[in-house]
Amino acid sequence: TLLGTVTLTDKTRRKGGRHTLASMALAVLPALPEACYGVFPLPDEQYWFVAVSDGMLSPFGDIVGDEAAIRIAVSNFLQITADPAAGWTVYAPSGFFPELDAEDKALSTLIDNKVGLRRARLSQTHNPQILWLWGIAVVALVAGYVGYSAWQTHQEDERIAAAQAALLARQQLEQQAPADNLKPWATQPRFPPMLSACSNVWKDAQISIAGWVFNTATCDAHGKITLHYTLPSGGTVGDFALRLPVLYGADIQPVFNIPGSADDASFALPVSLSLPEHPEALLPGSQQIQHLTSYAQRINARLRLSEMDVSTQLAQGDVQNLPWRTYSFTFITDIPPDRLFAPTRFNSSGIRASSITTTLKNNRLEYTIE
């Protein structure tokens, strides 16, 4: 920043007789060569250092200080700034730089330039009249805001009263309805999106890694898929451990069944899953369980079902039978489940999977949904 200033002489006085200030560095710039630096004496054993590089004022110049401070400023400028091809033009009092051919030039000769002074004038930034106008505008805005806020508060109170009345009426009608957080299908990812997300990961899995052959992949509802590979003849755990980071990155590390036979290698990958915003409505009665059973029979899949307890301990200590039936199931098929249970083929309302396992058997993939 150009902090050095000089007061303009009477011949450049503005209307009204007021003096004005100008940047001393900008004022002397037209009179200086394109590559120069200079030290000029000021009263009270002070000096002013200015530097020009490539025709522009250097940010390391325009410094006022005693002799020691100025010498440090000059040294910093010369260390940071590249030397020009023709060398530096130097201005300094006689003997200030004894090792240099410096010209002792008076500062007054550099600022005796009307064009340079007009260019270097500094403009006033403080205007009391403008501040008063701003103050009036702020007061008006605050008053308007307060009035508008009061009106909004009144409107909001009316809306709240109406909403509370509607809520009370709805609560009276729904006192017996269980909360969403009691519904077990509200706390797990929806069935088709989970099948699709897991499928996208295991479809990209390697059939073989360093000779180790794919065995199983288990994808769970917590957003993780664990893949297992079986040791081939002549293979080693070292081969697998070296190859895995090349394929999946250094963050993915294998786990071997050591101590043990050291013939199984596994590693986990993330799966992007999300919970439903609201649990969907169930199909009426036993329609869904019949639908799933019929679907398994049609495609010759193996299905095992077990009914679970549907009573729930409430906060007040009472036991309440909830208005739905809960089953655990195991569904085994050789058809890829992301296609088998696509929304266009199967209405999966109320169905959730805790895990989906893909197993390689006799060169064919088998899928187990639980």
Q: Are residues 199 and 68 in the same domain?
A: no
The verdict on 14 and 97 lying in the same domain is yes
Question: Which amino acid would we find at residue 343?
Answer: P
CB 369 within 8 A of CB 348: no
Examine the domain organization and report whether 92 and 170 are in the same domain.
no
What phi and psi, each to the nearest 5 degrees, are found at residue 2? -90, 95
- Rounded CA-CA distance 197/220 in Å is 11
Task: Supply the pTM of this predicted model.
Answer: 0.50
The answer to whether 322 and 309 have CB atoms below 8 angstroms apart is no
pLDDT of residue 90: 92
Whether residue 299 sits in one domain with residue 218: yes
Mapping DSSP to helix (H, G, I), strand (E, B) and coil, where does residue 238 land?
helix
Going along the chain, which residue ranges are E strands? 5-7, 21-23, 36-42, 46-53, 56-57, 63-65, 89-91, 208-209, 212-220, 224-230, 255-256, 264-270, 302-308, 311-313, 319-321, 326-333, 355-361, 364-369
* DSSP annotation string for 90-139: EE--TTTSTTS--B---HHHHH--HHHHHHHBPPP---HHHHHHHHHHHH
Considering the domain architecture, whether residues 191 and 168 belong to the same structural domain is answered as no
Shared domain for 141 and 42, answered yes or no, is no
| One domain for residues 229 and 113 | no
- Specify the pairing of strand 63-65 against strand 46-53: antiparallel
Write down the pLDDT at residue 227.
95
- Cβ atoms of 34 and 89 closer than 8 Å: no
Q: What is the pLDDT of residue 176?
A: 45
Task: Indicate if 313 and 244 belong to the same structural domain.
Answer: yes
For residues 178 and 360, what is the distance between their CA atoms, to the nearest angstrom?
A: 43
Residues 141 and 216 in one domain: no
Distance separating alpha carbons of residues 258 and 264, to the nearest angstrom? 9
In our burial notation (b when 16+ CB lie closer than 10 A, e otherwise), range 243-265 reads bbeeebeeeeebebeeeeeebbb
Identify whether residues 220 and 342 lie together within a single domain. Answer: yes
Last-in-domain residue among 120, 140, 163: 120
SS3 for 152?
helix
Q: How far apart are the first and last CA of the chain?
A: 71
Pair (204, 319) in one structural domain:
yes
- Spatial neighbors of 170 by CB under 8 A, at least 6 apart, are none
What is the per-residue pLDDT for 127? 64
Q: Which phi and psi angles does 57 have, rounded to 5°?
A: -65, 135
Report the distance separating Cα 306 and Cα 115, nearest Å. 97
Number of structural domains in the chain: 3
Among 246, 269, 244, 262, which residue's Cα sits nearest to residue 254?
244
Which has the closest alpha carbon to 303: 341, 344, 276, 345? 341
The residues with which 230 forms a beta bridge, in sequence order, are: 213, 264
Asked if residue 220 and residue 158 are part of one domain, the reply reads no
pLDDT along the chain (370 residues), means of 10: 47 50 82 91 91 89 91 92 90 90 84 64 67 79 83 87 83 58 78 90 90 94 94 92 92 92 93 84 83 89 83 58 81 89 85 91 91
Rounded to 5 degrees, φ, ψ at 67 are: -60, -40
Provide the domain limits for residue 257: 183-370
CA separation for the pair 174, 165 (Å, rounded): 14
> How is residue 323 written in tokens?
């208005």
* Alpha carbons 296 and 299: distance in angstroms, whole number: 6
